Amino acid sequence: MDPLIGIERLSVSYYSYRGVVHALNGVSLEVGQQETVGLVGETGSGKSTIGLAIVGLIPPPGLVDGGKIVLDGEDLLDKSKDQMREFRRTKLALIFQDPSTALNPVLRIGDQLTEAFMIKRKVSRKEAKEMAIHILAEVGISNPKVAQQYPHELSGGMKQRVMIGMALTGSPELLIADEPTSSLDVTLQAQIMELLAEVSKKNKMAVLLITHNMGVVSRYCEKVAVMYAGNIVEAGTTRNILKSPSHPYTKGLLAAVKLGSKKELSSIPGTVPDLINLTSGCPFAPRCGQVMDVCRKVKPELTEIREGQYAACHLYGGEGA
């Protein structure tokens, strides 16, 4: 079966006064129909840039330098702004990590949802108001009085539930959730993730979950892609990668979290590279405990190392150009 969305060698750069920031460097990724895929990595690895590129909202001074983003057989990078607006109305939705900045502070919750339904479903205001109350109930807000409240009157968890409801107003095929629980406490994080899992299954949506939380990935994602310095360095089924990580960076990430074990936690030495001054070799080489001479000279390509599992590492061959 063809994937719902296929990203092929996507490159995105930001042009700053310091130089060109190479945010994505030939990234390839697939999300299948009704599949939940986790995208993990340190801050600044390019995870959010992938989400923004998919929905056509790369902010200036950013620019897509090359590649393809194919959704339902159509390359989104060939679409005009109006065409992308239509895709966001009907097929794509994005949940930001901070709902306080995504909701309009001067409009009531019900009015914001009503407007979204009128735009996305082309219904009357009366129908949209009824849909707004229904969608709030679907995301666990059963009190209709919430529709009359402003965003500042809601808790963080309630606002994130509203954002999930907002995403569902267009019945999207793909929901991109960008760190949807990062601003919440542990209890609320679990509630929001359970809600996302429930609504994605009920509405038959695929989900691209952008996160740094390997525990969340282990519980909710069928597949995972690990990012480092604008590159995907390992990808495969969550089960395989958690059980047998191959890339030294993936091993370092997993060693830094417990995931139920009693082992002593460790950290990855060094810092992420400057994306303006990337070298020609593997971007992880300066921090890698298994570095070889070839790693400093040649950037490795993502190569299938076992069935369904890919790694960009010279330990497994697959030298790049």
H or E segment at 312? none
For residue 96, what pLDDT is reported?
85
Let me know if residue 180 belongs to a domain: yes
What are the CA-CA distances from residue 210 to residues 15, 50, 52, 123 (Å)?
A: 24, 9, 11, 32
The 10 Å Cβ neighbour count of residue 300 is 25
Domain that holds residue 234: 5-91+172-316
Model confidence, pTM: 0.93
117 within some domain: no
87 within domain boundaries: yes
- The per-residue pLDDT for 214 is 87
Label residue 8 exposed, middle or buried (CB < 10 Å: 0-12, 13-18, 19+). Answer: middle
In a domain, 99, yes or no: no
- What domain count does the chain have? 1
Q: Is residue 9 a part of any domain in this protein?
A: yes
pLDDT in the model for residue 258: 66
Whether residue 102 lies inside any domain: the answer is no
Amino acid 259: pLDDT? 65
Mean pLDDT by 10 residues, the chain (321 residues): 92 94 96 96 93 95 95 95 94 89 94 95 95 95 94 94 94 94 83 94 96 90 97 96 95 81 75 90 94 94 93 79 40
pLDDT at site 321: 40
* pLDDT, position 319: 57
10: CATH:
3.40.50.300
Give pLDDT, residue 129: 95
**What local confidence, expressed as pLDDT, does residue 120 receive?**
93
**Residue 132 resides in a domain:** no
